[in-house]
Amino acid sequence: MQKQLNSILEKAKEQLIEVTSVEATEEIRVKMLGKKSELTQILKGMGKLSPEERKELGQAANSVRTQIEEMLDQKFKEMKEMAQNLKFATEKIDVTEPGKKMNVGVKHPLTITLNEIMNVFKSMGYSIVEGPEIDTVHYNFDALNAPANHPSRDMSDTFYITQDMLLRTHTSPDEVRTMETKQLPFKVVIPGRCFRYDTPDATHSPMFNQVEGLVVDEGITMADLKGTLDTFAKLMFGPETKTKFRPHHFPFTEPSAEVDVSCFKCGGKGCNVCKGSGWIEILGCGMTHPNVLRAGGIDPEKYTAFAFGMGVERVAMLKYGVDDIRLFYENDMRFINQFK
């Protein structure tokens, strides 16, 4: 009996050597360990034996079975691996072929620029406020201390809806609206579309976007204004950015200033973006005129304020090197896609 078992084991060994596939291994498994196999027959026939013999033979038969099973497992593993390697070889791909297009869209470059500006001010604790694009002469001019005969009020400068209603020429009207409604103190930024009577060309657009800022509190100083805009410039254009405040005039601020930032392309050495000067004019600002504070119902003796404003198109054009403002409103997909 032991002999027979040894021969079964030998047979299994011999047969397995020649096997080259998972299927053939399976055949051998059925043949060697299946219901009709020699080994199974032996085990089935054990009932007729005495308990001693049964124990002895049982151990021997099970040992053979285990050995065969181990051999089979080993073979299955080998065969699987072989088959897989074969499959891998046939499934090889050219990884240099282009990827499948996922096609994420892109925000308008003016939105991207505006968001960058807004994110800087949000990080500095400013709230976003918005106002109507069509506003009154009161909010757009009168309340902002614009002289009654100021040329900007002309029909050749401003679009009118009626004698008292116009397309706002700046976002500043919302300064007064905010003063009227918001609890003091506050820090706000006001983005929005503005309109001026300009025939479109490469540098002019009858519609454009502005961001206005306004801070009202007791003890706000011009030094605060400088610090705020200097911080903005560094966050927006890089930590090396320098600012220069030049005296200027606006009816709604006194003192007023224009702000230049060191050229973010050449760093101040002089290039075509800054026209060789090393500086780029980016902002108008100043201490809010007491007449404007009064128009907004705020006591200028108690509160002081500063305000600033900048053109989003101008920043975007400088940042991206766009040389024609009309491109922003043509919406050619080949233009927009460049801002991915």
Partner 1 sequence: MLVPVSWLKDYVNIDVNIKEFCDKMIMSGSNLETAEHFGENIENVVIGKIEKIEKHPQADKLVICKINVGGNDLVQIVTGASNVFEGAIVPVALDGALVPGPLHGKPKEEGGTRINSGKLRGVDSFGMLCSAEELGFADKVSPLASREGIWILDSNAGFELGKSIVEAMELDDYVVDFEITPNRPDCLAMLGMAMETSATFQVPMVRPEIKCECKGEKTAQDYISVEIRKPELCKRYTARIITDVKIEQSPWWLQKRLMYAGMRPINNIVDITNFVMLEYGQPLHAFDIETVADRKIIVDTAVNGQKFITLDNKERELTDTMLMINDGKEPIAIAGVMGGINSEISGSTNTVILESANFLGDSVRFTSKKIGLRTEASGRYEKGIDPNLCEEAADRFCKLVEMLGAGKVVPGSVDVYPNVEKPQTYSNRVSRINKVLGTGLSREIMEDYLKRLGIEVGGEGDILLATPPTVRQDLKIEEDFVEEIARIHGYNNLPITIPRSNVMVETSKSWQIRELTRELMCGMGLNEIQTYSFVSPKGVTGIGIDEDAWENDFVKLLNPLGEDTSVMRTILMPNMIEVMGRNAARNVTEVKAYEIGNTFTPNMINPEGLPDEQLSMAVGLYGEGIDFFTLKGIVCELLENLGIRNLSFEAEADYGVYHPGRCARVLVEDNELGIMGEIHPNISEKYGLPKRSYACELMFDKIINMAHVEKYYKPLPKYPSSSRDIALLVGEEILVGDLESIIKEAGKELLECVELFDVYRGKQVQEGKKSVAFALTYRASDRTLTDEEVNKIHSKVLEALNEKTDAVLREI
C-beta of 192: minimal distance to partner 1 in Å?
Answer: 9
Compute how many other C-beta atoms are within 10 angstroms of the C-beta atom of residue 314.
Answer: 19
Beta carbon of residue 8, minimum distance to partner 1 (angstroms, whole number) = 47
d(CA 134, CA 160): 9
Rg (CA), the chain: 42
**CA 114/CA 192 separation, integer angstroms:** 10
The CA-based angle 250-253-255, given to 5 degrees, is 95
Cα separation, 276 vs 193, in Å, equals 31
C-beta closer to partner 1: residue 159 or 320: 159
Listed in order, strand segments (DSSP E) in 176-266 are: 186-195, 207-217, 243-250, 253-262
Q: How far is the CB of 95 from partner 1 (least distance, A)?
A: 25
Which C-beta is closer to partner 1: that of 3 or that of 334? 334
Q: Which is nearer to partner 1, 33 or 298 (CB)?
A: 298
Q: Which is nearer to partner 1, 267 or 290 (CB)?
A: 290
- Residues whose CB falls within 8 Å of the CB of residue 339, separated by 6 or more in sequence, listed in order: 106, 107, 108, 109, 112, 320
Q: Which is nearer to partner 1, 16 or 252 (CB)?
A: 252
In sequence order, what are the residues at sequence separation of 6 or more whose Cβ sits closer than 8 angstroms to the Cβ of residue 243? 226, 229, 230, 233, 259, 260, 261, 262
Shortest reach from residue 264's CB to partner 1, in Å: 20
Least distance (Å) from partner 1 to the CB of residue 297? 18
Give the residue from 221, 211, 227, 217 showing the smallest Cα distance to 186: 217
- SS3 at position 80: helix
When the beta carbons of 16 and 257 are compared against partner 1, the nearer one is 257
Q: Which is nearer to partner 1, 89 or 102 (CB)?
A: 102
Q: Kindly tell me which of 54 and 246 has the beta carbon lying closer to partner 1.
A: 246
What are the two backbone dihedrals, phi and then psi, of residue 262, each rounded to the nearest 5 degrees?
-65, 140
41 burial type by CB count under 10 A (0-12 exposed, 13-18 middle, 19+ buried) = exposed
For residue 41, the minimal CB distance to partner 1 (Å) is 45
Smallest gap from Cβ 210 to partner 1, in A, equals: 14
Length of the chain: 340
- Shortest Å distance, C-beta 190 to partner 1: 11
